[in-house]
Amino acid sequence: MSVKYIPVQWNPNKYVYDAVLLLAVVAYLWIYIRLGNPMADVSRPVDGPIVRMRAFGSCAFLMLTVILCIGPLARLDRRFLPLLYNRRHFGVITAVVALTHASFVINWYFVFSDVPPYEALLTSNTSYGQLLGFPFEAFGVFALITLGILAATSHDFWLSFLSAPVWKSIHLLIYPAYAAVTAHVALGALQEADSPMSFALYVGGPLLVAALHFAAWSKRDKSVEPEGDWLEACKVSDIPDQRAVIVRVGPKDRAAIFRDGDRLSAISNACAHQNGPLGDGRIIDGCVTCPWHGFQYRLEDGCSPAPFNEKVPTYRLKLEGDSVFIDRNGNIPGTPVEPLTLPDGLR
């Protein structure tokens, strides 16, 4: 946290996250290359470079599947949140693995072509008018370029420079990239796959991603329609102590209702630093702490403690029975709002 933009520094959690991730990638590749080929059908021997390109290709597909599962899993269970905060590191390593797969393909199939290898890749098959034999390489090229763009813009500098909404819009390209990878595999590697493991990975992966996103969508906040400016947000019992319930207060706006002992307060769910989800954070030393980069805000006025000057909007609350209502019209960032004190029967 700072009074000006600075790159987010490394911390022990990031080192552990990346170390575990790299070890998992190396273990997968070693098992696939060392054990997978000897177990294959001896009547159909596979050359070493092909085994390696398949190993890196399947690894990239598996990693991309896991990346797209982390988001809905974190919404369904908070214990997955630590995986979410450093997911950009996961994406960069996935792009490197995918690039390695592509390099094996180029150097094996097109290195001796009469035309430049990359031109040969895109012109060797142009049967775009048919399903069987469709040039699946085009899907792989699109996915690789997209992953490269996402990896190149993953640094916090680009998030700050482009602004959070633009940066987020660009990184939503991960979904068409995954769709392209799925099409690339379905029209290519899956046509020759003859093992249950390959089928489970290439078919079960997209189905799992779709199922988790549907489950997270089904669990989204379903606040009732407001009467006037007030919106029924939740029950008092729904808010865990020192944590929050996130409520949709507008088409694009969300508020986080925090409970601090017997007091309730509401602030914007978007951190002023980089739109981090404040509602997924917790109260530390009397301040809401953003789970992304540690920026803090006082509940009573949405201001960062001195000497910092970040501010977020605050919201008014009221009680009707055991139901918590929120004024969907947020206050100007930094506006003081008296916390709502719970009566004895609801503490």
pLDDT tens-digit readout, 288-347: 888 888 889 998 888 988 888 888 999 999 888 888 898 888 888 888 988 888 887 676
- Which segment, 140-154, 218-232, 313-327, is predicted with the most confidence on average? 140-154
Q: What is the CATH number of domain 230-346?
A: 2.102.10.10
Q: What is the DSSP string of 130-198?
A: -STT--THHHHHHHHHHHHHHHHT-SHHHHHHH-HHHHHHHHTTHHHHHHHHHHHHHHTHHHH--SHHH
Select from 105, 102, 181, 190 the least CA-distant residue to 143. Answer: 181
Question: CA separation (Å) from 345 to 232, 291, 312, 318, 341?
Answer: 20, 32, 31, 16, 12
pLDDT at 297: 92
pLDDT beyond 50 at 4: no
What are the residue boundaries of the structural domains of the chain, listed by start? 12-218, 230-346
Select from 293, 218, 289, 345 the least CA-distant residue to 7. Answer: 293
Beta bridge partner(s), residue 267: 256, 314
Q: How far apart are CA 126 and CA 107, in angstroms?
A: 21
- Tokens 């987020």 belong to which residue? 168
Select from 147, 39, 141, 42 the least CA-distant residue to 88. Answer: 147
pLDDT beyond 70 at 10: no
pLDDT tens-digit profile of 49-81?
888 888 999 999 999 999 999 989 988 887 887
Beta bridge partner(s), residue 235: 323
- Count Cα neighbours of 149 within 13 Å in the Cβ-side half-sphere: 15
Share above pLDDT 70 across residues of the chain, in percent, rounded to a whole number: 89
pLDDT tens-digit profile of 251-300?
778 899 998 888 899 999 988 887 888 888 888 888 888 888 888 999 88
